[in-house]
Amino acid sequence: MDQLAALLDGPRARGAFLLRSVLDPPWSLRIQDEAPLAVTALVRGEAWVMPDGGEPVRMRPGEVAVIRGPEPYTVADDPATPPQIVIHPGQRCTTLDGESVYESMDLGVRTWGNDPDGDTVLLCGTYTMEGAVSRRLLDTLPPLIVQPGGPVIELLGAEIVKDEPGQEAVLDRLLDLLLIAVLRTYFATHHAPGWYRAMSDPVVGKAMRMLQNNPSHAWTVASLAAEVGVSRASLARRFTELVGEPPMAFLTDWRLALAADLLREPDATIGSVARKVGYGSPFALSAAFKRVRGVSPQEHRAGAVR
């Protein structure tokens, strides 16, 4: 698993909220659902995304906006259109006065709007969960990305209105594919974070994948260097230059991020998690977790289920 894949391994779409919106101007949606990540594709018409405190960004058909939460933002047909609908946590939709509008704007299977023949069609997907692995990666993204979405938009648009067995899983995977496609394009055309650029390095990329795919192994810089066929000093220097931290610091952060996600599972124990991420005992994991994250595994688990 590489770190772009890990972006979806924490908040991977599992029963993600997906909706097709059909709207006739003027329209304006105030989004304050506090979701960690949202994806909006414009199928037809025109839309503007307006982050709080940021400049309005125009979307064209075939483009996708990736919005990093939990800060609120507005999506509208025009920046001058005042908000009419508010989207709250849990995807509760109301007027500005708090009156529910979801039933009155229901247009069928996963379809919602003010006119079934509206000029604007949006496909909206919301990741409602956040994992510790992905938090590190989400922090590298700007508040808003707008990029071409490619052919996945058409596939998602065709599937989102179906109500068939297994449809939820199909939609989840299509949403993941759309997000990955947008991020690949973005990182290829903008300043990508060091970990992303390092993945293409024949030595460091291989070392990173070995650490990520087998975190329970008793890695040392020497054993890792032997596996990738370079000297210990060469690997340590090259890894630090490209990734921004030494190999063992990267491994520690990866292990603890994985542990933080695994601890959210209802049947997980500190001992079972410790074994999966490469710590010899529950005590060793607890000590490292407390030192790096400032809370114990028990405190982290308690905070996750509140």
Cα gap 37→183, rounded to integer Å: 13
**Fold of the 3-189 domain:** Jelly Rolls (2.60.120)
Pick 197-304's CATH classification: 1.10.3720.10, 1.10.10.10, 3.40.50.720, 1.10.10.60: 1.10.10.60
Contact 111, 20 (CB under 8 A): yes
- State the Cα–Cα distance between residues 20 and 41, nearest whole angstrom: 10
Where in the chain is CATH 2.60.120.10?
3-189
pLDDT value for 9: 52
Backbone angles phi, psi at 216, to 5 degrees: -80, -10
pLDDT score of 10: 46
Outline which parts of the chain fall under CATH 1.10.10.60: 197-304
Between CA 74 and CA 81, with CA 80 as vertex, the angle to 5 degrees is 65
| Cβ-defined contacts of 135-138 (< 8 Å, 24+) | 135/10, 135/257, 136/253, 136/257, 137/3, 137/4, 137/6, 137/7, 138/7, 138/36, 138/37, 138/68
Kindly tell me the sign of the dihedral angle through the C-alpha atoms of 270, 275, 277, 283: positive
Token pair of 146, please? 């707008």
Q: Are 23 and 114 in contact (CB under 8 A)?
A: yes
The pLDDT, as a whole number, for residue 54 is: 87
Per-residue pLDDT of the chain (306 residues; tens, 9 = 90+): 555 665 555 445 455 688 999 999 999 999 999 988 899 999 999 999 999 988 999 999 999 999 998 899 999 999 999 999 999 988 889 999 999 987 889 888 999 999 999 999 999 998 876 665 567 677 778 899 999 999 999 999 999 999 888 888 888 889 988 988 898 888 888 877 787 888 889 999 999 999 998 999 999 999 999 999 999 999 999 999 999 999 999 999 999 988 988 888 888 899 999 999 999 999 999 999 999 889 999 988 887 554
